[in-house]
C-alpha cells in the first residue's frame, strides 16, 4: 500500500531545509523498500514547525515538525509511515489550535492539496466557481462580488464589485485583468504563499474576473524576488492552457482568456497600481495622476481591473458558495476573512486566516504566543511600511478597516510586525521616513524632497538639537506630505512617523548619543 507523505515546497519551508527532508524521506523509503509517494504541498503557515512532514494515515494526516534531514531515519524507525510516536509528533494538523481555530476560505486548499495537480484541485472544490460563472451573465457575476462585500486586500480596501462595475460599463473592445503580485509591504507573504501553495485558485479568479468585465487578456505582475512562485505559476498556467481553463475555449464554452506573467524589478512604488501599469508598459514605474481610474483607462489606455492576489483568489469561493456565505464572515463593512501575517519578534510567526473582528491582542498572544524573546511586546506595525506603530493600549482594536482608520492606522495587506521593549521608536520613525526617501518615485515634491528633509529633522531630534522646534517642524512637514502628496507613499508615511512620536514620546527624549 502506498503511503502519502506531504513536505512543503513553500519558500519558507525550503529556507529551513524542506528540500533536504523530502530527499531524506525518499532515500530512507527506498532503503526500506517502503512504498511512499511524496507530495510537495504549500505551507500550512506555521513557520516555527517547518519543515513540517505530514503522513496520511487511516486516522488522518499526522504531522511531525520541525523535522531535520538527519532525523528522518529515527522517524522511520519510530513508525513514521503509520503515524508512530516520536518527540516531533504533533498529531493531526487540524488539532493544532493555531491552525484549527482559523477560518480558511481563500487558503482552504493551501497545504492540503498538491498545488500543481489539477485533479487534486478539482477534488478539493476547485473550478466550481468558474463553472458557475460560465453560466452567469457578466453583470450578475459583478453583482455577486458586490454583494459578498469583498474589498481589495492589497491595501486600500476599495470594494471589488464597484471597481468591476466600472470596468464592465467602460466601453472598449480590449480590456485587461492585472493581478498585483508585487507584495512589497514589509512583513507580508500571503500573496507568495497563495501563489506557491494554490496557483490554480488565482488563475480561476482571474478568468472569472475576465468573464465578469469582458476582458480577454490577463497579466500577473510578479516581483522578481519570488522565484519559487514564478516557477509554480508558470507550470500551473501551462497546465491550465493544456486543460482549456485558459485560452480560446474556456472549459468548452467558446469564451477566451489568456494569461501571462510579467516580472517586476523590485521597486516598492511599482506595487502602486498606476506605477505598476507604467512598468507593465515597459516604462519606468511612476505614479499617474487619477482620474482617469485604471478601470476606465488603464493598461495601454484600456479599461483595466487591477486587483491584489488575495482579492482575486477570494473570488472562486464567493462564486461557488454564494455571496451570503462569504459576507456572513466578518464585522461591519469588513466582510469575509483576511489572511493575517505574523512576523518580526513573535514566537509563532505565520499565516492566520480569520474572519474580521478578532482583536490584535488575540492575534499576538492566542496565536502568536507573545514575543520570540519572551520580553513584553511594546509596539506592532500593522499594514506595511506606511502603517502606524501601535502601542499596547491599542491592542484591543478589532481587525476591521474602519476600527483601524478610527485610530489613525490601517490594516493594509494584513502584515503585522512585532517589536519587544528593546525597540527604539525614534529610530523606527527615522526608518519609515528614510524608506520613503529611498522608494519615492520622485514625481511630487512633498514626498521626494519632504522625506529627505524629514530624515534630517528626525536626525536632529535624535541628536538633541532644538528638540521642541524640530518636533514642530516634523509635524508641519508630515502635514504637508499628508495633504500634498500625489499617492499614498508620501501621503501615508506620516502614519508611522507621527504614531511613533505620539505613542512613544520618551524615545524622542533619550540622551543624545555621544559624539565621535
Ligand atoms: C506605495 C504603494 C505600494 C503598493 N504596493 C502594493 C502591493 O505590493 N501589492 C498590492 O496588491 N497593492 C499594493 N498597493 C495598492 C495598489 O495601488 C492597489 O490599490 C491595489 O493593487 C488594488 O487591488 P485591490 O483592490 O485588490 O487591493 C500599493 C499602493 C501604494 C500607494
Ligand atoms: S507621493 Fe511619492 S511615490 Fe507617490 S507620486 Fe508623489 S513622489 Fe511618487
* C-alpha cell of residue 247: 485560452
Ligand 1 centre to CA of 496 (Å) is 18
Q: Which ligand is nearest to the CA of 164?
A: 1
Considering only the top CATH level, what class is 330-420?
Answer: alpha beta
The residue ranges of every structural domain in the chain are 3-100, 118-327, 330-420, 425-508
CB 311 less than 6 A from any atom of ligand 1: yes
Q: Is 153 in the pocket of ligand 1 (CB under 6 A)?
A: yes
- Cis before 37? omega within 30: no
CA distance 79 to 76: 5
Asked if 377 and 422 count as a contact pair (C-beta separation under 8 A), the reply is: no
Residue 271 Cβ < 6 Å to ligand 1: yes
Cα angle 73, 75, 78; round to 5: 115
State in Å: Cα 381 to ligand 2 middle: 22
Q: Give the torsion through C-alpha atoms of 47, 49, 54, 57, to 10 deg.
A: -130
Domain 3-100 has CATH 3.90.170.10: no
Q: What is the pLDDT along the chain (516 residues), one digit of tens a residue?
A: 899 999 999 999 999 999 999 999 999 999 999 999 999 999 999 999 999 999 999 999 999 999 999 999 999 999 999 999 999 999 999 999 999 999 999 999 999 999 999 999 999 999 999 999 999 999 999 999 999 999 999 999 999 999 999 999 999 999 999 999 999 999 999 999 999 999 999 999 999 999 999 999 999 999 999 999 999 999 999 999 999 999 999 999 999 999 999 999 989 999 999 999 999 999 999 999 999 999 999 999 999 999 999 999 999 999 999 999 999 999 999 999 999 999 999 999 999 999 999 999 999 999 999 999 999 999 999 999 999 999 999 999 999 999 999 999 999 999 999 999 999 999 999 999 999 999 999 999 999 999 999 999 999 999 999 999 999 999 999 999 999 999 999 999 999 999 999 999 999 998 987 766
Tell me the per-residue pLDDT of 392-442, one tens digit each, with 9 for 90 and over: 999 999 999 999 999 999 999 999 999 999 999 999 999 999 999 999 999
- Looking at 463-516, list the stretches that DSSP marks H as alpha helix, in order from N- to C-terminal side: 467-484, 488-492, 494-503
Position 280 scores a pLDDT of 98
- Look at strands 304-308 and 258-264 and give their pairing: unpaired
Q: Which fold has domain 118-327?
A: Rossmann fold (3.40.50)
Q: Sheet harboring 304-308: ordered strands across?
A: 258-264, 217-223, 176-181, 304-308
Q: Which protein residue has the closest C-alpha to ligand 2 atom 8?
A: 441
CA of 14 to the centre of ligand 1 (A): 27
Q: Does ligand 1 lie within 6 Å of residue 38's CB atom?
A: no
Work out which ligand 1 atom sits closest to the CA atom of 274: 17
Query: Which atom of ligand 2 lies closest to the CA of 436?
Result: 2
Cell digits of residue 504: 512613544
Ligand 1 centroid to Cα of residue 412, in Å, is 9
Ligand 1 atom closest to the CA of 188, numbered from 1? 8
Ligand 2: centre distance to CA 227 (Å): 28
CATH of domain 425-508: 1.20.1440.230
Residue owning the nearest CA to atom 22 of ligand 1: 307
Q: Quote the pLDDT of residue 516.
A: 60
- Find out whether 305 and 176 touch, Cβ atoms under 8 Å: yes
At residue 369, φ and ψ (nearest 5 deg) are 70, 20
Q: Are strands 53-57 and 60-64 parallel, antiparallel or unpaired?
A: antiparallel
Q: Which atom of ligand 1 is nearest to the CA of 160?
A: 25
3-state SS class at 145: helix
Instruction: Report which ligand 2 atom has the smallest distance to the Cα of 451.
Output: 2
Ligand 1 contacts CB of residue 154 (under 6 A): yes
The finding on whether 270 has its CB within 6 A of some atom of ligand 2 is no
Cβ 51 vs Cβ 7: under 8 Å: yes
Q: How far is the CA of 156 from the centre of ligand 1 (A)?
A: 7
Contact 304, 167 (CB under 8 A): yes
In contact, 342 and 418? CB cutoff 8 Å: yes
Residue written as grid cell 527624549: 509
Tell me the pLDDT of the chain averaged across its residues. Answer: 97
Cell numbers standing for residue 496: 508611522
Please indicate whether residue 269, judged by its CB atom, sits closer than 6 Å to ligand 1: yes
- The answer to whether the beta carbons of residues 228 and 9 sit under 8 Å apart is yes
Sequence length of the chain is: 516
Amino acid at each position: 500500500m502506498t503511503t502519502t507523505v506531504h513536505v512543503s515546497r513553500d519558500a519558507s519551508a525550503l529556507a529551513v531545509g524542506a528540500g533536504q527532508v523530502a530527499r531524506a524521506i525518499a532515500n530512507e523509503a527506498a532503503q526500506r523498500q517502503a512504498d511512499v509517494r511524496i507530495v510537495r504541498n504549500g505551507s500550512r503557515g506555521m513557520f516555527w514547525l517547518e519543515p513540517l512532514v505530514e503522513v496520511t494515515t487511516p486516522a488522518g494526516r499526522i504531522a511531525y515538525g520541525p523535522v531535520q534531514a538527519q532525523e528522518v531515519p529515527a522517524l522511520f524507525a519510530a513508525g513514521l509511515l503509520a503515524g508512530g510516536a516520536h518527540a516531533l509528533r504533533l498529531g493531526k494538523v487540524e488539532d493544532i489550535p493555531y491552525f484549527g481555530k482559523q477560518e480558511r476560505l481563500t487558503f482552504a486548499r493551501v497545504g492540503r492539496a498538491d498545488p500543481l495537480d489539477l485533479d487534486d484541485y478539482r477534488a478539493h472544490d476547485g473550478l466550481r466557481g468558474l463553472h458557475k460563472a460560465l453560466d452567469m451573465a457578466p453583470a450578475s457575476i459583478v453583482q455577486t462580488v458586490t454583494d459578498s462585500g469583498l474589498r481589495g486586500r492589497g491595501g486600500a480596501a476599495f470594494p471589488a464589485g464597484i471597481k468591476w462595475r466600472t470596468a464592465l460599463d467602460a466601453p472598449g473592445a480590449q480590456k485587461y485583468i492585472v493581478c498585483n503580485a508585487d507584495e512589497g509591504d514589509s512583513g507580508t507573504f500571503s500573496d507568495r504563499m497563495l501563489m506557491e501553495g494554490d496557483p490554480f485558485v488565482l488563475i480561476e479568479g482571474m478568468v472569472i474576473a475576465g468573464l465578469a468585465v469582458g476582458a480577454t487578456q490577463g497579466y500577473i505582475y510578479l516581483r522578481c524576488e519570488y522565484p519559487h512562485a514564478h516557477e509554480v505559476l508558470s507550470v500551473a498556467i501551462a497546465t491550465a492552457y493544456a486543460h482549456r481553463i485558459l485560452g480560446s475555449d474556456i472549459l468548452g464554452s467558446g469564451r477566451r482568456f489568456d494569461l501571462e506573467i510579467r516580472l517586476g524589478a523590485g521597486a516598492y512604488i511599482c506595487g502602486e497600481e498606476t506605477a505598476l501599469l507604467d512598468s507593465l508598459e515597459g516604462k519606468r514605474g511612476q505614479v499617474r495622476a487619477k482620474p482617469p481610474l485604471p478601470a476606465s483607462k488603464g493598461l495601454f489606455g484600456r479599461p483595466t481591473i487591477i486587483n491584489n492576489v488575495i482579492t482575486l483568489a477570494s473570488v472562486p469561493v464567493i462564486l461557488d458558495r454564494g455571496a451570503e456565505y462569504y459576507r456572513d464572515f466578518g464585522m461591519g463593512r469588513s466582510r469575509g476573512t483576511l489572511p493575517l501575517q505574523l512576523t518580526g519578534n513573535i514566537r509563532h510567526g505565520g499565516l492566520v486566516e480569520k474572519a474580521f473582528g478578532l482583536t490584535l491582542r488575540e492575534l499576538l498572544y492566542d496565536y502568536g504566543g507573545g514575543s520570540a524573546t519572551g520580553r513584553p511586546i511594546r509596539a506592532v506595525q500593522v499594514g506595511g511600511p506606511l502603517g502606524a506603530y501601535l502601542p499596547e493600549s491599542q491592542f484591543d482594536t478589532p481587525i476591521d478597516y474602519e476600527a483601524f482608520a478610527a485610530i489613525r492606522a490601517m490594516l493594509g495587506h494584513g502584515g503585522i510586525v512585532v517589536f519587544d521593549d528593546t525597540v527604539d521608536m525614534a529610530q523606527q520613525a527615522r526608518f519609515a521616513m528614510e524608506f520613503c526617501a529611498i522608494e519615492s518615485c520622485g514625481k511630487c515634491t512633498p514626498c521626494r524632497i519632504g522625506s529627505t528633509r524629514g530624515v534630517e529633522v528626525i536626525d536632529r531630534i535624535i541628536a538633541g538639537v532644538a528638540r521642541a522646534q524640530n518636533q514642530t517642524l516634523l509635524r508641519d512637514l508630515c502635514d504637508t506630505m499628508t495633504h500634498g502628496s500625489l499617492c499614498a507613499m508620501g501621503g501615508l508615511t506620516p502614519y508611522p512617523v507621527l504614531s511613533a512620536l505620539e505613542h512613544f514620546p520618551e524615545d524622542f527624549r533619550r540622551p543624545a548619543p555621544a559624539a565621535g
